[in-house]
């Protein structure tokens, strides 16, 4: 099988590349070639700007693929260009969407692929919905498969409601500083290690039954936000100082954080993975968060130069906590 991954060196796509290679799939990456150190041995790199149709077509000249996986399309025009480019050179186009596209606020915390798509808070999610609609409603003859990941992390990621891909939260906990958790900390959240997500994605490649079907691919582990913070702290050997602040209050003080919170992370989400398990027999997640966060801490311990504070996060938390203390003083 010959598979093209557009991107290929990111949080999710690196794991998918490694999984595909382990299954003896011939893997190509199409990207700008700026992260060659992150490209696994055995991958053929086609260098082009993924958003420049002319460059893409030149790089792909004479090639055909069993599957194309699009990790970098965030606007309908990206997908529209892909349809023209790949219509005659692939048997399957896999669009990586997002589980944040599901209706917010949710009607129920149990999410299936038939849950309506609607997100009035987060433009990122609305654009992904528009991409899906372009495929489903206007290109029904195109061999698409839609995949919706949800808070998928890899080594070096520490999950939080305020960004997960740096050491900022850990730095705060190690230095005895308070951690803000939106709401009462008891909403449940589903997290998925990238290597587990990759099992589901690669299992869909080349599967004709998956054409014109949507899937979410997540673990079956769901934990409260307080638990997620506490598990990270335990991996660091400290006790967290959690401060609960209502999400509406956070949005008033830090409006730049509101779309991601109200558009995604403050609601309980439990994903029904029955569909991906039917299409990919044997699919199951193996890495729970206790193991995943331990790996991430080890990853940072081997890269001490990255164990630095997130100054933006510290500034925002100082402002947020200061405002919350004033409110507490008024009512106390």
Which tens digits make up the pLDDT trace of 235-285? Answer: 999 999 999 999 999 999 999 998 889 999 999 999 999 999 999 999 999
Per-residue pLDDT tens for 9-39? Answer: 889 999 999 999 999 999 999 998 777 677 8
Bridge partners (DSSP) listed for residue 144: 93
User: Quick one: pLDDT at residue 34?
Assistant: 73
Over residues 180-233, the pLDDT tens digits come to: 999 999 999 999 999 999 999 999 999 999 999 999 999 999 999 999 999 999
What's the CA gap between 299 and 307, in Å, rounded? 10
* CA atoms 36, 37, 38, 42: torsion sign: positive
Residue 230 is encoded by which pair of tokens? 């506490």
- Per-chain mean pLDDT for the chain: 95
What letter does residue 208 receive in the DSSP assignment? G
Which residues fall within 8 angstroms of residue 179, CB to CB, at 6 or more apart?
A: 160, 169, 172, 173, 229, 240, 241, 242, 243
CA-to-CA separations, 148 to 1, 38, 103, 111, 112, in angstroms, rounded: 23, 24, 13, 12, 11
Q: What is the topology classification, in CATH, of domain 168-190+221-269+288-331?
A: UDP-galactose 4-epimerase; domain 1 (3.90.25)
Handedness of CA 32, 16, 306, 219 (dihedral sign): positive
Predicted confidence (pLDDT) at residue 331 exceeds the cutoff of 80: no
Tokens 């890495």 correspond to: 287
Indicate the DSSP class of residue 116: P
Looking at residues 34-60, what average pLDDT do you find? Answer: 89
Confidence at residue 12, expressed as pLDDT on a 0 to 100 scale? 95
How does residue 40 score in pLDDT terms, banded at 50, 70 and 90? confident
User: What would the pLDDT profile of 96-110 be if each residue is shown by its tens digit?
Assistant: 999 999 999 998 999
Question: pLDDT grade, residue 332 (50/70/90)?
Answer: low
Q: How far apart are CA 100 and CA 115, in angstroms?
A: 11
The pair of structure tokens assigned to 332 is 């106390």
CA distance 100 to 160: 16
**Angle in degrees, 0-180, between the axes of helices 123-138 and 76-86, rounded to the nearest 10:** 40
pLDDT at 68 over 80: yes
The SS3 assignment for 11 reads coil
pLDDT at 4 over 90: yes
Instruction: CATH number for 2-153+193-217: choose from 1.10.600.10, 3.40.50.720, 3.30.1330.80, 1.10.8.80.
Output: 3.40.50.720
Give the predicted TM-score (pTM) of the model. Answer: 0.94
Q: Domain locations in the chain?
A: 2-153+193-217, 168-190+221-269+288-331
């Amino acid at each position: 099988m010959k598979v093209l991954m557009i991107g290929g060196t990111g949080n999710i796509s690196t794991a998918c590349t490694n999984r595909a290679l382990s299954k003896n799939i011939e893997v190509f990456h199409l990207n700008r070639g700026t992260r060659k150190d992150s490209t696994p041995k055995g991958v053929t790199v086609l260098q082009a700007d993924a958003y420049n149709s002319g460059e893409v077509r030149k790089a792909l000249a004479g090639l055909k693929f069993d599957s194309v996986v699009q990790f970098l399309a965030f606007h309908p025009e990206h997908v529209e260009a892909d349809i023209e480019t790949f219509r005659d050179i692939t048997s399957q186009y896999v669009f990586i969407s997002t589980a944040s596209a599901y209706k917010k606020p949710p009607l129920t915390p149990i999410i299936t692929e038939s849950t309506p798509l609607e997100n009035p808070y987060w433009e990122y999610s609305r654009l992904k919905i528009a991409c899906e609609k372009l495929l489903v409603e206007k290109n029904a003859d195109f061999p698409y498969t839609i995949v919706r990941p949800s808070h998928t992390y890899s080594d070096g990621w520490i999950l939080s409601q305020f960004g997960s891909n740096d050491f900022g939260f850990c730095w705060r906990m190690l230095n005895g500083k308070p951690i803000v958790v939106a709401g009462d900390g008891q909403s449940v959240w589903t997290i998925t290690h990238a290597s587990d997500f990759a099992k589901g994605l690669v299992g869909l490649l080349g599967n004709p039954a998956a054409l014109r079907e949507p899937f979410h691919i997540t673990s079956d582990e769901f934990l409260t936000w307080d638990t997620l913070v506490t598990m990270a702290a335990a991996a660091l050997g400290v006790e967290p100082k959690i401060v609960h602040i209502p999400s509406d209050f956070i949005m008033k003080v830090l409006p730049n954080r509101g779309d991601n919170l109200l558009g995604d992370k403050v609601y309980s989400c439990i994903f029904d993975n029955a569909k991906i398990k039917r299409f990919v027999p044997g699919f199951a997640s193996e890495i729970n968060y206790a193991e995943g966060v331990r790996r991430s801490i080890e990853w940072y311990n081997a890269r001490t130069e990255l164990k630095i504070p997130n100054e933006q996060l510290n500034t925002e938390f100082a402002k947020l906590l200061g405002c919350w203390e004033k409110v507490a003083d008024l009512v106390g």
